[in-house]
Amino acid sequence: MTRRERWARRWATTYGAGPGHLLTLAVCLAVAGYAATRVLAAGIWVGFLLWFVGAVILHDLVLLPLYSFADTAVQSRSRPPAPPPGTPPAGRWPPPVNFVRVPAALSGLLLLVWFPVILRASEHEYREATGLSTIPYLGRWLLVTVLFFAASGLLYALRLRAARRTSR
């Protein structure tokens, strides 16, 4: 065993992951530290702390159980039907759940981040800050959501086509 291999094994045993993990973690902590200094310098740390705690509570206690339940329900109901003749074996049939899960998650994330303007809850503040209205945001979010699901459906159709070709 070479010196480098011994060092890598000792590192992995001591730290539990590779050095790239530690480097990534250090960069993330540096970015978070920089963001914290900007929040403190702007004097909005109380509002930021309230927002952060509220977001953690809302996500962990409300949203996570809701979307976990929805995902479990979709998975339990998305058993593939009996495949028509000439389709690939059961292990090669692409499951549809991820083709619903990904666009729903992206759309939900956009709604979560932009809900004040999408739902027109910040019309007054937004108009004062920009001189614009929040009216177009709901339609744009719906359009982006439709595009997410359309792209996912197209990708699923292409995967099904490729799976059928390989089975022949």
Cα–Cα distance, 76 to 83 (Å, whole number): 18
Count of CB atoms situated within 10 Å of the CB of 99: 21
Domain identity same for 10 and 52: no
Residue with tokens 């973690």: 25
Tokens of 8: 């890598």
**Residue 166 pLDDT:** 78
Domain identity same for 168 and 92: yes
Domain identity same for 1 and 36: yes
pLDDT tens for each residue of 21-79 = 999 999 999 999 999 999 999 888 898 888 888 888 888 898 889 888 988 887 777 66
Query: CA dihedral defined by 65, 66, 69, 74, rounded to 10 degrees?
Result: -150
Domain identity same for 5 and 34: yes
Q: What is the pTM of this model?
A: 0.60
**Residue 118 pLDDT:** 94
**Residue 140 pLDDT:** 96
Domain identity same for 32 and 99: no
Domain identity same for 49 and 37: no
Residue with tokens 């929805």: 70
Which runs of consecutive H residues, i.e. helices, occur in the chain? 3-15, 19-42, 45-57, 64-77, 97-118, 123-130, 135-167
CB 103 within 8 A of CB 145: yes
pLDDT tens for each residue of 93-111 = 677 888 988 999 899 989 9
* 93: nearest Cα among 79, 72, 75: 79
**Residue 56 pLDDT:** 87
Whether 83 is in a domain gets the answer no
Comparing 1 with 32, the larger pLDDT belongs to 32
Whether 82 is in a domain gets the answer no
Residue range(s) defining the domain that contains residue 61: 44-77
Domain identity same for 96 and 70: no
Count of the separate structural domains present in the chain:
3
Domain identity same for 103 and 161: yes
